[in-house]
Amino acid sequence: MIGSADLEELKTTIQAHSGMNELKRFGENLKKNALNERNLKIFFATLWAFYRQTPSGILNLSLRVNDYWDKLDMWHAMAHAAYLLYAVVDEFGLDTRGRMKLTHHQLFKDAADYFNITPDELVSSKNILDAGKDIGSLSFEYYRHKSIPEGLGFHFASELTSLPEFECFLDGFWQHKDIYKFSSQIKTPLNFFSIHTAVEASHRLTSEIMLQKYFQVEA
């Protein structure tokens, strides 16, 4: 069984990864220097290379969790999968019964459109850094094909690092709001970033609960 001490150790290990220092340095540079046209294409294309896998990947993992628990306790299988679907609801723009909201993929496209970055440029290999391609491939593999504990661990790490990641992006772009001609953090094009800063804390919590529930069974 995984306890609170184990989770804290896992968090510490993830947060101590060298990639977190690189993210911090990137955020500092993003605040110091506005991105030119070329660098904007690289930024958005590289981000898209792996972020495009996230919503459908979480959905796929939640269905696998449901099927796993259905064999153990069919009455509560959906309830367990719901902890993962909680994040998918936001990603798919379904967090209200009043009306369908834009999905996070659509918000991303709005941001790219604002900077006149075309769909072809977003998927052009010349604009995508190798790291973006690698993370995209890993996301696809872990969410869809790796074992459930590996998938849950990957998801937990993703949710844990997403809040500082999106805060870094939002703060960096907002620092140069006059250059980019932004009027608000919660409207296009920054809505894609700001909405993640609002929901990631709850997504992280549900990913923690899901890990604990899995290891209560598999301990």
- pLDDT per residue as tens digits for the range 107-136: 999 999 999 999 999 999 999 999 999 999
Average pLDDT, the chain: 94
- Residue 147 confidence class, pLDDT cut points 50, 70, 90: very high
Could you give the domains of the chain? 4-218 (1.20.910.10)
- Where residue 209 falls among pLDDT bands split at 50, 70, 90? very high
Query: φ and ψ at 54, to 5 degrees?
Result: -70, -55
**What is the pTM assigned to this prediction?**
0.93
pLDDT attached to residue 7: 84
Give 87-92's long-range contacts (Cβ < 8 A, gap of 24+). Answer: 87/58, 87/159, 87/199, 87/203, 87/206, 87/207, 88/55, 88/58, 88/59, 88/62, 90/195, 90/199, 90/203, 91/54, 91/55, 91/58, 92/55, 92/59
